[in-house]
Amino acid sequence: MTDMTFDEKTLRYLRTLSRSYPNTQAVTTEIINLRAVLNLPKGTEHYISDIHGEYQGLRHILRNASGSVRRKIDQALGDYVSAADRDALATLIYYPERKLSHMRHHGLLNAEWYTITLKQLIAICKITTSKYTRSKVRRILPKEYEYIISELMTTGSKDFNKEEYFEQILQTIIETEAADSFITAMCHLVQDSVIDRLHVVGDIYDRGDSPHLVMDELEKQRHIDIQWGNHDILWMGAAAGNLCCITNAVRICLRYNNYDFMEGGYGINMRPLSLLALETYANDPCTLFMPKKGPKDAADPQNDEVIAKMHKAIAVIQFKIEGQAAKAHPEYRMDDRLLLDKLDLERGVVTLDGTEYPLLDTSFPTIDLKDPYALTPEEQKVLEGLQLSFLNCDKLQHHVDFLYKKGAMYRYYNGVLMFHGCIPMEPDGSFSELEIYGVKCRGRSLFDRCEELVRQGRFSKDEALMQRGADFMWYLWCGSKSPLFGKDKMATFERYFIADKATHKETSDPYFTLAYNAEGCERVFQEFGITDPDAVIVNGHIPVKIRKGESPIKVPEKLLIIDGGMSKAYQSVTGIAGYSLVSNSHQMYLSEHEPFASAEDMIHSNRDMESRIIPVKTYLKRVTIADTDDGREIAAQIEDLKLLLEAYRTGAVKQDKRATTEI
């Protein structure tokens, strides 16, 4: 390194950096450490999408890491432990507390089992943590057993000098009745260390009955990012008090029989809506609004009828509120959703695009055809109460804060461009232009503008800008040029009230055909400034209909759709229970999941969720941290440290030779 001079700006930066590395010894040590880290294999990344409130299935996919945990078990123990015992060990790792309780109940726990199991878990932990530095492993070790686990993983039972030391630790763990707690901690360490980063490509909410539990589970992940989906934006808008978003969110919950989630999960007060519905539709069976129920849902005709009445009441309120919003925002170009003024209830028809269609239901006691979008005083009161419930729900607001903290409209990370839906396109393949509050944007700039408005809707100190951002979330939910929606319309009214299925059709954006080839992918990469020839696009949003022969791989090694129907509501369409994508240092592959029965069934039978592996690409050489985005940041840190080292040696920055730092 040659002598150099430093400008004042660089010197100020180096002086700040010197607070962390006060002398040449500290700098040298950190450079050695960082250069070594660059040569470690990259961590395994896990991609999932379209969870739709399916907590049980998601929890298992996270715990078994789409089959990665079982492969680590086979790698560590496959040569000398039977397949049945490895099945049982996998179940223990996924659900340690419940499996131990089950075994204790059946008298299966003894000193011999504890000793064998502890040794097996230590062997597995050595493999799952082998990609990480010791400092990183320490950060994920359970604090109560950090020292002991660290000792066991660095000391082997075959270590001549420490064999008795190793065995004594195990014996003491068992004798002090700490084995259950220790095994549980080891199992969680395996879960935490198999996957280094989780990517969620949108749609956490709606349809499934436990999105609040899904959010709780996602908050536990060490490294996570989220690309917002239209259903996430719907709830973010509802949390901001957007009435269109609130009515849609409530309607969908009632449609999928998730009343308990609304009241029990988020504490949304549904009683005023139920009283309004029971009074307004007392003599209306509301047959068209019966909740969708799964095969295991118990029959409850009386409750179903109450839900149906509430469902119809909120749907009518939604159509009114959406009509008001479409009129208030002509720039959204959603006049085609103004349908209530097209009703002719005496003749029982509605007119769409000049064509009359018979109505399946003509009972609309709260609609005044002279002013069809006006709420009745009773509806207004219910809506105000719902808005207050959403705004004052601490748990919902906490979850939405997490979505903002970890979320974005899109992300490019380690060669993978992730966004939930699409980049709106014209039939000729050009990117569609949308003017949003006077700003024209398309392609990447459309994503950036949308994100700017979404963040304004929560964080702006200007009330007008905050309101504008909150209003726009409804457009992102269902607008024709929304990159999160990707259809020409949301035909909710037509699906409820018109039998002719031609009116139900929601035409998909041209992206979903024009991007599904090498040329289309290249156009997308160019728009986002991506030049890596190995880059991949990962989307969710569109369920892949396996039963109809569709494939999640739209362009080999270039574009993947990973929505395979994790939610039970979609599984009859897709034929499977979801996809997840795994990218490790050797390869990228899809894991196609069969439906997950239950944790209870697995604990009794040791039968894991079946997953079929679909190769996407194999890397010619093992990918190291140096090849990743984090690696490029580390390389930049090394260059900065080299500058600081030179500044110390030339005297441009004074060092503190007496200081000691823990690197």
SS3 at position 539: strand
- Contact present, 349 and 357 (Cβ < 8 Å): yes
Instruction: Report the amino acid identity of residue 642.
Output: K
Q: What is the pLDDT of residue 519?
A: 95
User: What does the longest C-alpha to C-alpha distance in the chain come to?
Assistant: 94
Q: Where are the domains positioned within the chain?
A: 8-40+626-650, 45-201+540-623, 230-396
Condensed to tens digits (0 to 9), the pLDDT of residues 341-363 reads 999 999 999 999 999 999 999 99
Condensed to tens digits (0 to 9), the pLDDT of residues 151-169 reads 888 876 566 677 888 889 9
- Contact present, 47 and 418 (Cβ < 8 Å): yes
d(Cα 186, Cα 89) in Å, to the nearest integer? 12
Q: What is the pLDDT of residue 444?
A: 98
Please state the rounded mean pLDDT for residues 116-143. 91
- Percentage, residues of the chain above pLDDT 70: 97
- Contact present, 179 and 118 (Cβ < 8 Å): yes
Q: What is the C-alpha end-to-end distance of the chain, expressed in Å?
A: 24
Q: Does residue 434 have a pLDDT over 90?
A: yes
What tokens does 318 get? 């939604």
Q: What is the pLDDT of residue 549?
A: 86
What tokens does 13 get? 């930066």
SS3 at position 654: coil
Condensed to tens digits (0 to 9), the pLDDT of residues 255-268 reads 999 999 999 999 99
Q: What is the pLDDT of residue 212?
A: 97
pLDDT confidence tier of residue 543, bands split at 50, 70 and 90: confident
Q: Does residue 454 have a pLDDT over 50?
A: yes
560 strand-pairing partners: 538, 553
Q: What is the pLDDT of residue 661?
A: 54
Neighbours of 7 (CB within 10 A): 7
d(Cα 233, Cα 244) in Å, to the nearest integer? 12
Report, in this order, helix, strand and coil percent for the chain, each rounded to 5: 55, 10, 35
Q: In what order do the strands lie in the sheet with 410-413?
A: 410-413, 416-419, 536-539, 559-561, 553-555
For CA atoms 538, 541, 546, 549, give the dihedral sign.
Answer: negative
- Contact present, 622 and 586 (Cβ < 8 Å): yes
Condensed to tens digits (0 to 9), the pLDDT of residues 70-80 reads 999 999 998 99
User: Distances from the Cα of 10 to the Cαs of 18, 53, 385, 650, in angstroms?
Assistant: 12, 50, 57, 14
- Contact present, 50 and 229 (Cβ < 8 Å): yes
d(Cα 292, Cα 40) in Å, to the nearest integer? 50
CA dihedral (268, 272, 278, 284) in degrees, to 10, reads -70
Q: What is the pLDDT of residue 663?
A: 43
Eight-state DSSP code of residue 46: E
Q: What is the pLDDT of residue 307?
A: 95
Q: What is the pLDDT of residue 296?
A: 58
Q: Which residues contact 349 (CB under 8 A, 6 or more apart)?
A: 343, 356, 357, 358, 359
Condensed to tens digits (0 to 9), the pLDDT of residues 276-326 reads 999 999 999 999 999 987 655 666 778 899 999 999 999 999 999 999 999
Please state the rounded mean pLDDT for residues 388-395. 97
Q: Which residues contact 275 (CB under 8 A, 6 or more apart)?
A: none
Name the strand (E) or helix (H) holding 349.
Answer: strand 349-352
d(Cα 663, Cα 661) in Å, to the nearest integer? 6
- Percentage, residues of the chain above pLDDT 90: 82
SS3 at position 12: helix
Q: What is the pLDDT of residue 159?
A: 64
224 strand-pairing partners: 198
Instruction: Report the amino acid identity of residue 354.
Output: G
Condensed to tens digits (0 to 9), the pLDDT of residues 507-524 reads 999 999 999 999 999 999
Q: Which residues contact 639 (CB under 8 A, 6 or more apart)?
A: none
- Contact present, 216 and 64 (Cβ < 8 Å): no
Any idea which of 66-70, 155-159, 402-406 has the lowest mean pLDDT? 155-159
d(Cα 434, Cα 442) in Å, to the nearest integer? 6
Q: Does residue 25 have a pLDDT over 70?
A: yes
SS3 at position 416: strand
pTM of the full structure: 0.94
| Tokens 């003024």, located at residue | 341
SS3 at position 5: coil
Q: What is the pLDDT of residue 566?
A: 84
Quote the crossing angle between the two packed helices 163-175 and 146-154, to the nearest 10°. Answer: 140
